[in-house]
């Protein structure tokens, strides 16, 4: 049966688009994905397998019908392996089976993610294209510029510009992708008044970079007025390449107290939580009302504005804006496993994010997840697609592998 399937599959592949990727590929089995009733679009899929994973590089095909190949990133463990790949469309009504092929060595070596260290920063690139930049310098002589680490995001295309803001501009404390709280017993870790957040190190054992996704793990110390670290967070982010103008950033943030007493994390929706700040030109550009601030937001149908650009019953928000004459869209998703209640702040000048109040201790850290989707904004994303992307994020697919 499998020999017949393999013969048919390879024959179909040779007639399919981009066959060079698959010449010499060897059939290895079938992978069936159960969408759990959720229609999935541009879904970043992670599958953990307990054993029997084929050796070498893997690719997926949609059954014996041929079609473009999907690269699979394989991370092997003593117990099995983790597979990572992107499915661009998965019907929620029925499972879908993919043919798994070994492509070792690949006929066309794929481009891949890589890290590049610089002076006070660390870049993540896909091939030669920069995608994000961690700003990690701390210098007491330049405290206004360096009192907290943050992550810049680049746009798309040749010679891309940054689409996020750094120090200066309207509200200098808003910088790229950042995390903090302005109300703690040990000070204001949003504005950095007499306290700071400081990059401590990267965890090399938690990092990977391949053709589909890359993960980095950064440790950040929150240092109080007495120069002692009182809170430590670990920010792990997996960045997926969905397409040339579409990336997904999956954050897992673990926050723990370093003190013997628990520490409350508080503030308000405008000055605490996990946020994104678009480039300064978004704040300078006129909006539809003629006032400065050109970011336009889409929220869930049930979201309620409570005051001053603060929204409740809101699990995600979607921002559209332009930088350097190019349209972009960023979707910020906050899953229900995070602390509730939460609020979203969505300012027209391009700063938006989710806020909660909580408490951390040595023994009971907070474990948070967020997803950011950064994509070309030339075409509006329908609200129903945004809602489906949120469901895709919080409801993972299940998978079954049948080896040859």
Q: What is the CA radius of gyration of the chain?
A: 22
CA–CA distance from 51 to each of 58, 72, 289, 403 (Å)? Answer: 15, 16, 58, 10
CB 364 within 8 A of CB 201: no
- Angle at alpha carbon of residue 290, lines to 289 and 292, rounded to 5°: 105
Q: How many CB atoms are located within 10 Å of the residue 378 CB?
A: 10
Separation between Cα atoms, residue 349 and residue 364, nearest integer Å: 36
pLDDT digits (tens), the chain, 404 positions: 333 333 333 333 323 333 334 546 788 889 999 999 998 999 999 988 887 777 778 888 875 445 578 889 998 888 888 999 999 889 888 999 999 988 776 666 678 999 999 999 999 999 999 999 999 999 999 999 999 999 999 999 888 999 999 999 999 999 999 999 999 999 999 999 999 999 999 999 999 999 999 999 999 999 999 999 999 999 999 999 999 999 999 999 999 999 999 999 999 999 999 999 999 999 999 998 889 999 999 999 999 999 999 999 999 999 999 999 999 999 999 999 999 999 999 999 999 999 999 999 999 999 999 999 999 999 999 999 999 999 999 998 988 888 77
What pLDDT score was predicted for residue 26?
A: 85
Select from 127, 123, 102, 118 the least CA-distant residue to 21: 102
Please report the pLDDT score of residue 67 as a whole number: 59
Measured CA to CA, the distance from residue 351 to residue 345 in angstroms comes to 8
Write phi, then psi, for 41 (nearest 5 degrees): -120, 125
pLDDT attached to residue 9: 35
Classify residue 136 as exposed, middle or buried by CB count within 10 Å of its CB (0-12, 13-18, 19+): buried
pLDDT at 156: 96
């Amino acid at each position: 049966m499998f020999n017949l399937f393999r013969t048919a599959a390879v024959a179909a592949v040779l007639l399919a688009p981009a066959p060079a990727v698959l010449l010499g590929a060897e059939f290895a089995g079938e992978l069936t994905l159960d969408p759990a009733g959720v229609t999935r679009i541009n879904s970043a899929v992670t599958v953990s397998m307990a054993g029997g994973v084929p050796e070498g590089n893997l690719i997926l095909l949609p059954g014996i019908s041929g079609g473009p190949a999907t690269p699979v990133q394989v991370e092997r463990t003593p117990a099995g392996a983790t597979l990572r790949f992107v499915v661009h469309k998965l019907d929620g009504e029925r499972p879908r089976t993919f043919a798994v092929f070994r492509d070792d060595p690949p006929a066309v070596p794929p481009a891949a993610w890589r890290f590049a260290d610089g002076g006070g920063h660390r870049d993540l690139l896909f091939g030669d294209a920069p995608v994000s930049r961690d700003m990690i310098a701390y210098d007491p002589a330049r405290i206004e510029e360096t009192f907290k680490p943050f992550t810049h995001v680049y746009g798309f295309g040749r010679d891309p510009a940054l689409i996020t803001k750094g120090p200066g501009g309207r509200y200098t404390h808003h910088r790229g992708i950042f995390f903090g709280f302005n109300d703690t017993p040990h000070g204001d870790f949003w504005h950095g008044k007499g306290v700071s957040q400081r990059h401590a190190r990267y965890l090399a054992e938690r990092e990977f970079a391949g053709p589909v996704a890359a993960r980095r793990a950064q440790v950040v110390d929150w240092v109080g007025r007495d120069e002692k670290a009182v809170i430590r967070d670990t920010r792990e982010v997996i960045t997926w390449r969905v397409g040339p103008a579409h990336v997904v950033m999956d954050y897992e943030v673990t926050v723990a107290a370093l003190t013997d007493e628990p520490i409350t994390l508080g503030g308000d929706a405008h000055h605490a939580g996990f946020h994104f700040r678009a480039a300064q030109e978004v704040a300078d550009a006129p909006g539809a009302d003629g006032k400065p601030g050109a970011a336009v937001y889409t929220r869930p149908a049930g979201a309620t504005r409570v005051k001053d650009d603060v929204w409740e019953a809101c699990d995600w928000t979607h921002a559209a804006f332009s930088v350097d004459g190019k349209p972009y869209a960023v979707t910020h998703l906050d899953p229900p496993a995070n602390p509730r209640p939460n609020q979203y702040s969505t300012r027209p000048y391009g700063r938006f994010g989710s806020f909660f109040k909580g408490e951390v201790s040595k023994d009971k850290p907070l474990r948070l997840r967020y997803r950011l989707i950064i994509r070309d904004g030339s075409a509006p994303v329908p609200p129903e697609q945004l809602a489906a992307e949120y469901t895709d994020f919080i409801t993972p697919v299940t998978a079954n592998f049948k080896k040859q």
